[in-house]
Structure 1
C-alpha cells in the first residue's frame, strides 16, 4: 500500500488510491475514539475524505491529529471497497420503529453491536456505503407485525441465526465472501413479521 506523504515532501498532487482513503478513514476513526474529533467533525472529514482526489487533500484531514502507532484493524488490502474506522469503546446502536419507520443508510458508522426493534413498523438497514467499527458485527432484530430489510455490500459474509414464527427470517450474504470483508451475524425473532436481506453493490467513491 502506498503510504501517505510526509509533510512537504512534494507529493501532494499525486492522485490518491482507494487504499490511501481507507488508511485515512482508520486514522479519523481513531481520532474520534480518543476524543480529538467530535462526531460531527468526524462526519464532516469523512465526507471530505471520499471527495478527495490527491494525497495532499488527504494529508490536510489528519495534519492536526495526534495518532499513535496502533490503529486497530488494518485497512482492507488491495483497495477492497470496505471502510474500517476502529473504536475502543463498546457502545451499541439502537434502531426502533413503532407504528412508523426508521432507517440507516448512506455513509453511516456501523458499531460492533446493533439492536433493531420493529413493532407495527419498518426498519431499513443499508450497509452498502457504511463505515465499520469492526470486522465482526452482531445485529439483533425483534420484529412483531413489522419488517426489517438489511442490505450489505457485495463480498460480505452474513450468518443468519434468527427465527421466524408465523413470519419469515431470511438474511443472506455474498455467495463468495471476500476475506477482507466484514462478517455480520444476524440474530433475533420475526413474529408475524419479516426480516430479509441481500447483498448490494457498493458505489464507487472515486
Structure 2
C-alpha cells in the first residue's frame, strides 16, 4: 500500500521575513551601536544587510554575536505557529502616490519608519530637510514607472541607496553623518522608464532627532567614563 507523502514543515529560519522582523533586528543593532558594541561603519553595513534580507534566518546572522540575540526568544519564532498573533506594535506606513499627478511631502512633518513612494506617469517629492525624525532608520520604498521620485535629506544625516533602473535612472548620493546616532535614510527601489533620485539639501541640518537615541548614547558614555 502506497503511503501518502507528507510535506515537512518549513523551518522557522526559512520563513520569509516581515517588516516587523526587520524593525526588531534594526532596533537591536541600534542598541548595540549606543552601547559601543558596534562601530558606526559596522552598524551601517549590518542595517543595509537587514533591509535586503529575505528570510528570518538571514536576519539572525546580523545579531548572532550580540548579547541581545541570546537573552530572549526572537519574536519572529511565533511565525512558525499558524494563525498566532505576535502582538508586535507596527507603525502605519506613510504612502505618497502619484498616478498621472504629483505628490509632495515637505516642510515640518513627522517622518515615519517606512515611507512608500509610487510615481506612475507622475512625480513624487519627499523633502526631509525640515522633517521631525522619530526613528534612527527611515526606509523609503521608491517605485517610479514613467515617473520621477525625488528625495531630499538634511546634510547631517546618513543617506544610503539600493536599487536600479530599467531604461531609467536610480541615483542616490551616499552620505555619512559624523554623528553615529544621527538618522539614516535608506532609499530602496526601482526606476522603470523613470527616475529615482536621492540628494542632500545643502545648508539644511536636522535638529529634531529622537530624544531617546541621544539619551542612550549619553548613558553609554557615562557608563564607560564611570568605569
Report the 3-state secondary structure (helix = DSSP H, G, I; strand = E; otherwise coil) of the residue aligned with 2:179.
coil
In the TM superposition, 1:1-206 aligns within 5 A as 89-200=90-201, 201-202=203-204
Superposition TM-score, scaled by structure 2 size: 0.49
Unaligned runs of 5+ in 2: 1-30, 32-88, 208-227
Q: Which has the higher helix share?
A: 2
* Superposition RMSD in Å: 2.0
1:177 Cα deviation after fit: 4.2
Superposition TM-score, scaled by structure 1 size: 0.54
Aligned length: 119
Quote the residue 2:17 is aligned against. none
**Larger Rg belongs to:** 2
Q: Distance in 2 between matches of 1:190 and 1:204?
A: 28
Report the 3-state secondary structure (helix = DSSP H, G, I; strand = E; otherwise coil) of the residue aligned with 2:187.
strand
Q: Distance in 2 between matches of 1:111 and 1:198?
A: 19
Q: Which has the higher strand share?
A: 1
Quote the residue 2:43 is aligned against. none
Deviations 1:98-143 (A, max 9, x none): 0010000000111000100000000000000000120011110110
Unaligned runs of 5+ in 1: 1-72, 74-87
1:180 Cα deviation after fit: 3.0
1:158 Cα deviation after fit: 1.4
Query: Structure 1 residues 170 and 177, CA, compared in 2 at 3 Å: closer, same or farther?
Result: farther
